[in-house]
Structure 1
Amino acid sequence: MGWEIKITLAVTTSEHLPPVLEVDELASSSSDCDGESLASSTVSLTESINEHVYANGRRYHRKSEGQYALPSDETEMNRLDLVHLQLLTLGGDLHKAPIQGDPLNVLDCGTGTGIWALDFGDLHKGSRVLGVDLIPNQPTWTFPNVTFEIDDVEKPWTYSQRFDFIHSRHLATSIRDWPSYLTQIFTHLTPGGFVEISEHNLDTLHSDDATLPPTSPLLTYMSCLRSGLLAAGVNPDLQGADYKRMLEEAGFVDVQLRAYKIPWGAWAKNRTYKMVGAILGDVAATGIEAHGLQLMTAVLGMTEGEARRVCGEAVEGVRTGREHAYHWQWQVWGRKPVEGEE
């Protein structure tokens, strides 16, 4: 079976202009609102593909060393499934691109546990969905129209078919050459096909009520994360406008950008943002360490104790809910023009 998320809540303000996030004075921590936990089994491939290494008490995929700094253990897989509940932000939609009916061939880049691909395949039974990822953490049993492959999307693509819709989510910590990546997407789309990119900022955090002081443990953590990504060859300073510009430079037309505020904790007054923030709070409990620990130790040279202290203080900052921090999430989509179209 796949997962189907029924969303009955709706953001009460325009998605085109994110609101100032009002604070719920009664909220005390991210645990004030229950989130849903999703789980996925792993796919069984060859022994070499499944080789792992261990560092700082976490498991990492050996063949992804130097390309992907996040763990590949069960804790991380559960976190990735929980992140899928960002659909609350999108009003329950799997995408914002205006695709019609069941696009014949769909590609999900960086599919992770495969949860987006499975949901899309379940909703679009006339589509053939291919999910690709560096790490074999996808389920063994899938829908008949959903398949998974191990591949590196930054290497030359060798697909024999073109795709009618290509989806790319949360790859900013691993993509080093965005123009090349987006050019490959453009090349492998059918004319008239759509691409959608879902990313969030990695440079810092924001607050609408000045509760995020320069000495905040959250900002300290984000500063370390940014330094680690820079040292690893990843650009952490890309913003929504940059993704929109790069899509246009790759040749896409009708490029649209939507920006959303994602609270770190359940402190927001608005019901939907409170739920999104609560989920983010649960994600942060393991995600702060997942993103930062290996970068801080292996790349920045911090001791494991130092890195764990930075991560732990950031997690505690989210838990208390006193600092009303949020990050930006962007949905950016565009269409490949048909022949003769300017």
Structure 2
Amino acid sequence: MAETSNTQVEADAIAVDLADDGDSILESDNASSTASLTSSVLAFRKINGRTYQNFRTSVEYWAPNDEVQNEGLDINHQMMLMMNDNKLYRSPIGPNPQRVLDVGTGTGIWVVDFADEHPSAEVIGTDVSPIQPTWVPPNVKFELDDAKATPWPYPDNHFDLVHMRLLTGSISDWVAVYKEILRVLKPGGWFEHTEYDCDFASDDNSHPPGAALRQWGALFTEAGEKVGQRFDVAKDQRLLKWMKEAGFTAIKEHPFKLPLGSWPKDPKMKEIGNFNLVMTDRSLEGFALYLFTQVLGWSVEETHVYIAKGRKELRDRSIHGYYAGITVCGQKPNEE
């Protein structure tokens, strides 16, 4: 049986029991055994009508794990496939990777696609929420684990690729996590990390000065400072700097822009913009609700008014908005 910190979840075996409205994620109990962990972790917390993970008291992940939010994650996956010309990764790992780890796997869709593409590879996805499918390829395994709880339960020099996407606001010490990734990678193995900037931008300044979405990045940064997390990780080459500090080499940056809506003239970017608009519109409440009400002290009513303004701006074709993203790939040095 797996250790408590790395329990493989059989989500279809246990019914989800929702706690009362108003409970805080931070009030969940630490489990003392595998059985109690499995039982408690599937009793998702319910806050303001949305459900959240219930893994440990040390886990403070801010986004919901319910169906609405998970649909947004799957739409995001398809959007990133379009952005990357239908490629799941950018790292030059070769045609036959043997062991691959996806950290913060979410719905597990990247893991399943990678496993289908590489049937000889063992592909593991970890997350603090047991929301992954149970019918998966035979070379897929999902495990319950907190990325910032180091050391990880994997041996040294084990993986060919470690993949991470959209963990902003969930890691307090990024360099420590990067160093753990370096440890579990094989010499010559690759680490790939993708994050989005939480600032909504427009190159032509078409966001009016009082626009709700112009405040978005500052509000998330403020909330992150209050809980000891960072929401500005995609800025100022931070991922690149942290990779260098951790000891990675051959580091490459791949910046990109994700338009919001169909305003781009380029057909590919127009399609990406439509996907992004649907994903952002569907996810906006989940992005804001916990942080604004539980951390920044807003009322639920104030938060919903703000979200409504933001959704209206998303549909305004005169606003040529986007948010910036960055993918950074780094290699573990060969032993020689």
Q: If the TM-score is normalised by the length of the shorter chain, which range does it land in?
A: 0.7 to 0.9
1:173-231 Cα offsets, whole Å, 9 max, x none, are: 211110001000001100000000011112x2221212122211211233322222222
Q: Aligned equivalents of 2:12 and 2:127: distance in 1? A: 12
In the other structure, the counterpart of 1:209 is 204
Q: How does 1:1-342 map to 2 (within 5 A)?
A: 43-44=12-13, 46-63=38-55, 67-85=60-78, 86-156=80-150, 157-160=152-155, 162-202=158-198, 204-238=199-233, 239=235, 241-340=237-336
SS in 2 for 1:47: helix
Q: 1:221 to 1:42 in 2, by over 3 A?
A: farther
Runs of 4+ in 1 over 4 A off after TM superposition: 41-45
Q: Which amino acid aligns with 1:140?
A: T
Q: Aligned equivalents of 1:44 and 1:251: distance in 2? A: 42
Matched-pair identity in %: 33
Q: Over aligned residue pairs, what C-alpha RMSD do you find? A: 1.6
Q: Aligned equivalents of 1:264 and 1:109: distance in 2? A: 27
Q: Aligned equivalents of 1:57 and 1:322: distance in 2? A: 33
1:58-109 Cα offsets, whole Å, 9 max, x none, are: 1112236652011111111111111101111111110111110121110000
Cα deviation for residue 236 of structure 1 reads 2.2
Q: Aligned equivalents of 1:259 and 1:167: distance in 2? A: 17
Cα deviation for residue 290 of structure 1 reads 1.1
Q: 1:74 to 1:44 in 2, by over 3 A?
A: farther
TM-score normalized by the length of structure 2? 0.85
Q: Aligned equivalents of 2:201 and 2:241: distance in 1? A: 23
Q: Aligned equivalents of 1:297 and 1:84: distance in 2? A: 28
Contact kept in structure 2, 1:221 and 1:310, CA below 8 Å = no
Contact kept in structure 1, 2:155 and 2:184, CA below 8 Å = no
Cα deviation for residue 288 of structure 1 reads 1.5
Q: Aligned equivalents of 1:225 and 1:160: distance in 2? A: 36
Q: Which amino acid aligns with 1:127?
A: A
Cα deviation for residue 42 of structure 1 reads 5.8
Contact kept in structure 2, 1:296 and 1:302, CA below 8 Å = yes
Q: Structure 1: give runs of 5+ residues left out of the alignment.
A: 1-40
SS in 2 for 1:320: coil
1:294-320 Cα offsets, whole Å, 9 max, x none, are: 100000110000011111211111012
SS in 1 for 2:116: helix
Contact kept in structure 2, 1:240 and 1:330, CA below 8 Å = no
Q: Aligned equivalents of 2:267 and 2:164: distance in 1? A: 28
Contact kept in structure 2, 1:262 and 1:327, CA below 8 Å = yes
Q: Structure 2: give runs of 5+ residues left out of the alignment.
A: 1-9, 15-37
SS in 2 for 1:95: coil
Q: Which amino acid aligns with 2:224?
A: L
TM-score normalized by the length of structure 1? 0.84
Contact kept in structure 1, 2:168 and 2:232, CA below 8 Å = no
Higher relative contact order (CA 8 A, sep 6+): 1
Q: Which amino acid aligns with 2:148?
A: E
Q: Aligned equivalents of 1:188 and 1:91: distance in 2? A: 29
Q: 1:101 to 1:240 in 2, by over 3 A?
A: farther
Contact kept in structure 2, 1:198 and 1:331, CA below 8 Å = yes
Contact kept in structure 1, 2:251 and 2:329, CA below 8 Å = yes
Q: Aligned equivalents of 2:300 and 2:276: distance in 1? A: 24
Tell me the number of residue pairs that the alignment of Structure 1 and Structure 2 aligns.
299
SS in 2 for 1:221: helix
1:312-339 Cα offsets, whole Å, 9 max, x none, are: 2111110122211111111100110111
Cα deviation for residue 44 of structure 1 reads 4.3
Q: Which amino acid aligns with 1:211?
A: S
Q: Aligned equivalents of 1:222 and 1:310: distance in 2? A: 14
Cα deviation for residue 240 of structure 1 reads 5.8
Q: 1:192 to 1:233 in 2, by over 3 A?
A: same
SS in 1 for 2:293: helix
Contact kept in structure 2, 1:89 and 1:276, CA below 8 Å = yes
